Amino acid sequence: MYETTYHRPSSVDDAVALFKKGSDSKYLAGGHTLLPVMKQRLAQPSDVIDLARIPALVGVSATADALVIKAATTYYDILTSADAKKAIPAIVHLTSVLGDPAVRYRGTIGGSIANNDPAADYPAAVVALDATVKTNKRSIRADEFFQGLFTTALEEIVGP
């Protein structure tokens, strides 16, 4: 058995500080990728940092020229967003048929995109929509962000 410490920070800065403090920290949002590999003992993080309740990482909003969906936003929040329904009805329809209710209530768009599982729907959708993935360092066109099976242009997560 290995020991893992669970953290629920309230800000991005706190999450980054906790991540740096651990010897093998992992971020958690919906948990659909991390938890199964932990159960199989393929990952044994020293610390799990839950991003799901950080306000700066959750939400759907429309601007004059874009629909902004933050990384820790659940599929359910997209499904029920008036802004998403108005701006891109297709993304709402896609979300309505993803997985089962448990997946829709806990899964996050950021987790799906960052994992780039070839069986996932969101990576293909953001490429088809010619979307941009924004990090704290840069903006990356979706067709350049996804680089291969389970591989993206993400290098690291660094706090402000």
pLDDT for residue 49: 97
Domain identity same for 112 and 145: yes
Asked if residues 108 and 129 have their Cβ atoms less than 8 Å apart, the reply is no
pLDDT for residue 160: 46
Domain identity same for 37 and 86: no
User: Domain with 101 in it: what CATH number?
Assistant: 3.30.465.10
Domain identity same for 37 and 75: no
- Residue 97's domain comprises 58-152
Domain identity same for 95 and 32: no
The mean of the pLDDT values for the chain is 91
| pLDDT tops 60 at residue 25 | yes
The pLDDT of 83-96, averaged and rounded, is: 96
**Model confidence pLDDT, tens digit, residues 65-79:** 999 999 999 999 999
Please tell me the total count of domains within the chain.
Answer: 2
pLDDT for residue 33: 86
